[in-house]
Amino acid sequence: MTSARTRDRLVQRLRDQGITNLAVLDRIKNVPRHIFVDEALGSRAYEDTALPIGFGQTISQPYIVARMTEALLEGGPLHSVLEVGTGCGYQTAVLSPLVERLYTIERIEPLMLRAKERIKELGIRNVRFRYGDGIPGWKAHSPFDGILVAAAPLTVPEALIQQLKVGGRLLVPVGAEGEQQLIRFTRKEQRIEKESLGPVAFVPLLGGMA
């Protein structure tokens, strides 16, 4: 179930849904998604669907990972990127080779430790992990060229907007369950541009640590 043909079918499905960035499609094809899910779900790893990873969390559907990565990359190269909500590390693995430095925060310690191990297994070396609350961002390494949030707040944390460089992009699903929209914020010299990229479904963004 992890054959090249299975992965090719997934990539073709993403192309059919409008993903055009070849680097993103290549990452979706080559990142072994099955190592980020429980063995019992391994046969479903290359379906275009979200799957449970424990602790009330999910591994995002490949289309959403590809869409968010593509939308973050639009507008120029990314040197320093913050990911809020590491989860199992799948989004981290897809995004990390496409940026210079990736900082990622996870509030559920067992998930963070497991993700760190998987990223190490894949030989990825440009990711720095932090166990903590992602809502305040990671000020010590700001400002960022890009911020990607993998859970949905009801309103966008102001700290994340403040930690964007001029020209930087923030990708975040916003809203209550059943009403979420994927929003891209772009910081300009004198204003923040806001663009809706369509409906999505994410677990809620929670504060604190677990």
Q: Cite the active site residues.
A: 60
Q: Tell me the CB-side half-sphere exposure of residue 197, using CA atoms within 13 A.
A: 23
DSSP labels, 47-99 = SSS-EEEETTEEEPPHHHHHHHHHHHHTTS--SEEEEE--TTSHHHHHHGGGS
Closest CA to 46 of 25, 29, 23: 29
Altogether, the residues listed in the chain come to a count of 210
Q: Who contacts 30 (Cβ-Cβ below 8 Å, separation ≥6)?
A: 7
Q: Any bridge partners for residue 64, and if so which? A: none
Distance CA 106, CA 156 (A): 18
